[in-house]
Amino acid sequence: MKIELLRNFVVIMKHKSVSRAAEELGITQPSSSKLLSQLEKEINFRLFERIKGRLHPTSDGSLFYKLSLKTLSGFDSLMNSAEQISNKELGVVNLRIMPALANGMLTRVIKSFSLLHPSIRINLVISSSEEVVESIEGGSGDIGIAMRVPQSEGYTHHMVKMHSVCICPNDHALASKSVVSLKEVTKYNIIGISSDITKPLNDNIANMLLSSPTIMHSTNHNTTCCHLVAADLGIGIIDPMTALSYKKLGIKLIKLKEKIPFNFFLLTSNHYPLSLSAAKFMSYLENEITKVISELQHH
Taking the C-alpha atoms of residue 58 and residue 239, their distance in angstroms, rounded to an integer, is: 50
Instruction: For residue 104, give the nearest of 225, 260, 5 by alpha carbon.
Output: 225
**pLDDT given for residue 251 in this prediction:** 95
Q: Where are the beta strands (DSSP E) in the chain?
A: 48-51, 54-57, 92-97, 121-126, 143-146, 155-163, 165-169, 179-180, 190-193, 215-219, 236-238, 251-256, 261-269
> What is the number of alpha carbons within 13 Å of residue 155 lying toward its C-beta?
26
**How would you class 72 by CB atoms within 10 Å of its CB: exposed for 0-12, middle for 13-18, buried for 19 or more?**
middle
Instruction: For residue 168, give the nearest of 103, 233, 248 by alpha carbon.
Output: 233
Q: Taking the domains of the chain in order of start, what are their residue ranges?
A: 3-86, 92-158+264-286, 165-259
Dihedrals phi, psi of 162, to nearest 5 degrees: -140, 180
The CATH number, out of the four listed (2.40.37.10, 1.10.10.10, 3.40.1260.10, 3.10.28.10), of the domain defined by the range 3-86: 1.10.10.10
pTM to 2 decimal places:
0.61
**pLDDT given for residue 149 in this prediction:** 84
Q: Which residues pair with 256 in a beta bridge?
A: 180
Q: Which residues pair with 144 in a beta bridge?
A: 96, 267
Superfamily covering domain 92-158+264-286: Periplasmic binding protein-like II (3.40.190.10)
Q: Cα separations (Å) of 183 from 163, 190, 217?
A: 17, 12, 19
User: What's domain 165-259's architecture?
Assistant: 3-Layer(aba) Sandwich (3.40)
* Pairing label, strands 121-126, 92-97: parallel
Sign of torsion, CA 191 197 199 201? negative
282: CB partners within 8 A, 6+ apart: 142, 143, 266, 268, 274
pLDDT tens track, the chain, 299 positions: 888 898 998 999 888 889 998 998 899 999 999 998 998 999 898 988 888 878 898 999 889 888 888 888 778 777 776 766 555 445 789 999 987 777 777 888 999 999 998 888 899 998 888 889 888 988 888 999 988 888 888 888 889 888 889 999 999 999 999 999 988 888 888 888 765 444 545 555 555 554 555 677 888 888 889 999 999 999 999 888 888 888 899 999 999 998 888 888 999 998 888 888 899 999 999 999 898 888 777 66
Amino acid at 55: L
Instruction: For residue 254, give the nearest of 200, 188, 174 by alpha carbon.
Output: 174
Q: Which residues pair with 156 in a beta bridge?
A: 268
15: CB partners within 8 A, 6+ apart: 21, 24
Question: CATH topology of 92-158+264-286 equal to that of 165-259?
Answer: yes
Q: What is the largest CA-CA distance in the chain?
A: 80
Three-state helix/strand/coil letters over 245-263: HCHHHCEEEEEECCCCEEE
**pLDDT given for residue 81 in this prediction:** 66
CB 110 within 8 A of CB 284: no
- Eight-class DSSP state of 271: S
